[in-house]
């Protein structure tokens, strides 16, 4: 983004009254986030990173209030991913969806659950699945989040056309993250387990862009993309699509079979360098690497702390790669679930919880019920606070300058 664009983004943040109610140490964290993440702008808003609502929006104001509450020792699920269906037309080997066989939750059940998130202070809701576009009432779910819980969509693009993209935007959709695993159809379709998946993703990206929705191409960086020169070709291909953002997700072993390997340290470092290089680039899509966002130098692992995942069956997990249930929100509501989470996750951690619990989660019976959750987490290695969180987490003074 040119300097004027970065200045405009900063003015959007500073123009919110809530910004000036933050403590100086939280303001320093925001400034550091601006230095390490390039804001990108679409008709639906200017986005700093995936868990931060568009700058200056009602969701962003809730986000700022949530940061202040977190610093005061309250438990606030700032960003929540909600699986609105377990159904999917793809058959990805590395799928983390443990509720694929469950029936779709009723619209009334989901809207009641979303109202509970609003009461809890959630600022951003990503609708996912399965394939969320399989729900005909998806626009109503988007509207149930908007405008104060910034609604995002994670999709493979199945069946999307321009008319539906426009209807989702009209309902309040802020951003769409479309799965795109490779720059050639045969490899993408192989990963997705279905011929034609690549073309569907490209059509969805084009439709969202034409509808004016902030659009990101999202890839899990696996062995194929890590091969010599493949990742640069992929980035070039995505630039040619004119997306606003390229999201590079670190692979995490999933399920009892540990499908897909974890990244090596040198691979993590390469992905971090790509993001930091993107910050300085004035033009083209921004590159965001989860290796950076979840690194000890940045936000660390937010799973269970500021981030939650709700399965299509209603189980609440720290994230979709940690199928450890803290209760079923469809049955009990949010009260007891949030109490358990607050007890187990007083601060974020430096390391990936899915990797820390990898050996314990190699079991055939998933998800782990909440009665076992606290004992399981007690065996997890503990570490100090990650960098940016030292400015925000309660009871800390922030790193020395």
Mean pLDDT of 301-318: 93
Among left, alpha and beta (phi > 0; psi -120 to 50; other), residue 157 is left
Single pTM value for the model: 0.92
pLDDT higher than 50, residue 329: yes
Give the closest residue to 272 by CA, choosing from 242, 250, 302: 250
Residue indicated by tokens 């997306």: 243
Give the closest residue to 67 by CA, choosing from 51, 90, 85, 91: 51
Select the highest-mean-pLDDT range: 93-102, 234-243, 343-352, 362-371. 234-243
From the CB of residue 242, how many other CB atoms can be counted at a distance below 10 Å?
12
Backbone angles phi, psi at 307, to 5 degrees: -135, 135
The tokens for 320 are 């979709």
pLDDT higher than 80, residue 195: yes
Q: What confidence tens digit (pLDDT) does each residue in 270-304 have?
A: 888 888 888 888 788 999 998 888 887 788 888 89
From the CB of residue 167, how many other CB atoms can be counted at a distance below 10 Å?
14
Q: In the structure, what pLDDT confidence band is assigned to residue 400 with cuts at 50, 70 and 90?
A: very low
CB-count burial class (<10 Å; 0-12, 13-18, 19+) for 364: exposed
Contacts made by residues 2-11, CB under 8 angstroms, sequence distance 24+:
2/282, 2/283, 3/282, 5/39, 5/41, 6/34, 6/38, 6/39, 8/41, 8/46, 9/34, 9/39, 9/41, 9/46, 9/48, 9/55, 10/34
Q: In the structure, what pLDDT confidence band is assigned to residue 62 with cuts at 50, 70 and 90?
A: very high
Higher pLDDT, 291 or 196: 196
Q: What confidence tens digit (pLDDT) does each residue in 211-254 have?
A: 999 999 999 998 888 888 899 999 999 999 999 999 999 888 76
pLDDT higher than 80, residue 147: yes
Question: Percent of the chain scored above 70 by pLDDT?
Answer: 92
- pLDDT at position 201 is 97
Preceding omega of 367 cis (within 30 degrees of 0): yes
| Topology given in CATH for the domain delimited by 76-401 | TIM Barrel (3.20.20)
Domain-wise residue ranges, the chain: 3-71, 76-401
Averaged confidence pLDDT in the chain: 87
Question: Which stretches within 312-369 are classed as H helix?
Answer: 329-332, 334-344, 353-356
Q: In the structure, what pLDDT confidence band is assigned to residue 401 with cuts at 50, 70 and 90?
A: very low
Give the closest residue to 141 by CA, choosing from 163, 164, 112: 112
The tokens for 211 are 């509808």
Mean pLDDT of 139-163: 97
Given a contact cutoff of 8 angstroms between Cβ atoms, the answer to whether 156 and 200 are in contact is: yes
């Amino acid at each position: 983004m040119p300097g004027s664009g970065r200045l405009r983004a900063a003015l959007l943040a500073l123009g919110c009254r809530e910004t000036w109610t933050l403590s100086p140490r939280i303001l320093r964290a925001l400034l550091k986030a601006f230095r390490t993440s390039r804001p990108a702008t679409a008709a639906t808003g200017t986005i700093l990173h995936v868990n931060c609502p568009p700058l200056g929006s009602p969701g962003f104001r809730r986000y700022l209030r949530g940061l202040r509450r977190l610093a005061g020792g309250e438990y606030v699920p700032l960003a929540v991913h909600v699986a609105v269906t377990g159904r999917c037309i793809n058959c990805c080997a590395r799928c983390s969806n443990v509720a694929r066989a469950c029936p779709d939750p009723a619209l009334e059940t989901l809207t009641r659950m979303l109202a509970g998130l609003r009461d809890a202070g959630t600022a951003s809701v990503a609708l996912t699945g399965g394939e969320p576009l399989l729900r005909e009432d998806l626009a109503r779910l988007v509207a149930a989040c908007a405008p104060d819980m910034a609604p995002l969509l994670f999709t493979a693009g199945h069946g999307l056309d321009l008319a539906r993209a426009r209807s989702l935007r009209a309902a309040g959709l802020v951003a769409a993250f479309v799965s795109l695993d490779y720059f050639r159809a045969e490899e993408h379709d192989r990963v997705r387990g279905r011929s034609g998946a690549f073309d569907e993703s490209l059509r969805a990206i084009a439709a969202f862009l034409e509808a004016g929705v902030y659009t990101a191409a999202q890839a899990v960086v696996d062995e194929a993309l890590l091969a010599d020169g493949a990742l640069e070709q992929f980035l070039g291909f995505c630039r040619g699509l004119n997306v606003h953002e390229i999201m590079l997700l670190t692979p995490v072993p999933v399920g009892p079979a540990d499908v897909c390997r974890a990244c090596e340290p040198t691979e993590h470092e390469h992905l971090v360098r790509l993001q930091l290089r993107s910050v300085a680039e004035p033009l083209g899509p921004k590159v965001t690497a989860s290796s950076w966002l979840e690194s000890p130098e940045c936000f660390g692992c937010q799973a269970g702390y500021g981030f939650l995942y709700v399965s299509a069956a209603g189980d609440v997990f720290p994230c979709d790669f940690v199928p450890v249930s803290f209760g079923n929100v469809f049955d009990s509501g949010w009260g007891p679930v949030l109490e358990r989470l607050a007890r187990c996750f007083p601060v974020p951690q430096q390391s990936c919880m899915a990797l820390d619990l990898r050996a314990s989660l190699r079991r055939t019976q998933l998800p782990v019920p909440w009665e076992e959750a606290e004992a399981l987490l007690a065996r997890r290695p503990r570490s100090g606070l990650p960098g940016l969180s030292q400015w925000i987490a309660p009871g800390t003074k922030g790193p020395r300058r």
